[in-house]
Amino acid sequence: MSSNEQQDLLREAGLSTCSPEAGTGLAIKADLQLPWNQLRKLRQWLTQCGIKLESEHKMRATLAAALPTYTAKDVPMVTKMGNVILVPVVYLPNLEAVIGHYLALYKARGLLTWHDGVIPEEEIWIKLGGDHGGGSFKFCLQVTNVHHPNSLDHTIPLCVFNAKDTPANLETALGIYREQVAGIIASGKWDGMKLVVFLFGDYEFESMMYGLSGPSGPSGVHPCIHCHCKKKAMDLPSSQRAPEDGLPRSLATLSSNLGDFLAAGGRLPTAEIHNNVIRPAILPVLLHNA
């Protein structure tokens, strides 16, 4: 394509040869989901066509001013071999500020929804959850009061580290959010509406977050996150289960079971006696919200 043809194409697209307004480069980057190296190539091509976007330095400065600031630090984590090494953890330290930032952004853009009454009008539902993949663990925030809340566009990373998501490593990285989550659950509000916190993730992740031993081996007699049902009773109709199998778990029962487990010596083979609770819950999210 010749230079004249390029100019004609750009004119047809409504682009002039003058410098676009500030923010155009970031808008292009966001809409096309371009990494910085691809945006550089696009800037070079646009410059040859007479369109000069603002510098990458200015774009990065604008982005930094508009988004919450991440913090990084080295923390001790356990490897698969049981060795302790220092691992960089990148995280957003102020959870409530992050929630407020994105809710204000969604409101300004008219994106908030209560899904036709599924969410009560006086509530904002916040999801916290994580997953390990590609060598790293990502702990994220999602606001449910938007359309397609599980999409990548609405998934905000809160904490990332390159290590296995063992209970010890999760406690090390996510423990900073324990008191913040407790405060939000107790009295968190935004724009006069109550903040309701949910936990999401696969079964293994949620088991670790609530201090359960999981479904494997002799310590997996009570694997359910929500009740005390024995593994062997799960295939039975509820009418044929023992009364104790239907007892619900709660943060209070988790704490009580853990206390009894530790008082009895904290030996894993005895976990079934204490409903398989062997560690403290990492975050105090109500179990019926998991």
Confidence of residue 53 (pLDDT cuts 50, 70, 90): confident
pLDDT digits (tens, 9 = 90+) for 143-152: 999 999 999 9
pLDDT of residue 173: 97
Would the pLDDT of 217 be above 70? no
With a cut of 60, say whether residue 16 has pLDDT above it. Answer: no
Which pLDDT belongs to residue 1? 65
* CA gap 96, 227 in Å, rounded: 30
What gap in Å lies between CA 265 and CA 258, rounded to an integer?
A: 11
| Whole-prediction pTM | 0.81
pLDDT of amino acid 81: 85
Closest to 9 (Cα-Cα) out of 54, 51, 55: 51
Rounded CA-CA distance 126/137 in Å is 20
The pLDDT, as a whole number, for residue 188 is 94
> In this predicted model, what pLDDT tens digit does every residue of 65-85 receive, in sequence order?
777 889 999 999 998 888 999
Instruction: State residue 14's pLDDT score.
Output: 63
Q: Are 274 and 262 in contact (CB under 8 A)?
A: no
Specify the pLDDT at position 3: 66
Give the mean pLDDT of the chain.
Answer: 90
Is 137 buried (19+), middle (13-18) or exposed (0-12) by CB count in 10 A? buried
Neighbours of 276 (CB within 10 A): 25
- Assess whether pLDDT exceeds 90 at residue 63: no
Query: Looking at residue 112, what is its pLDDT?
Result: 98
| DSSP output for 205-258 | HHHHHTTB--SSSGGGSS--SSB---GGGTTS-GGGS-GGGGPBP-HHHHHHHH
- Which pLDDT score is estimated for 168? 95
pLDDT digits (tens, 9 = 90+) for 103-131: 999 999 999 999 999 999 999 999 999 99
* Residue 278 pLDDT level (bands cut at 50, 70, 90): very high
Chain centre to alpha carbon of residue 112:
19
pLDDT band per the 50, 70, 90 thresholds, residue 232: confident
Which range is least confidently modeled, 52-56, 90-94, 122-126, 135-139? 52-56
Residue 43 has pLDDT above 60, yes or no: yes
pLDDT digits (tens, 9 = 90+) for 255-271: 999 999 999 999 998 99
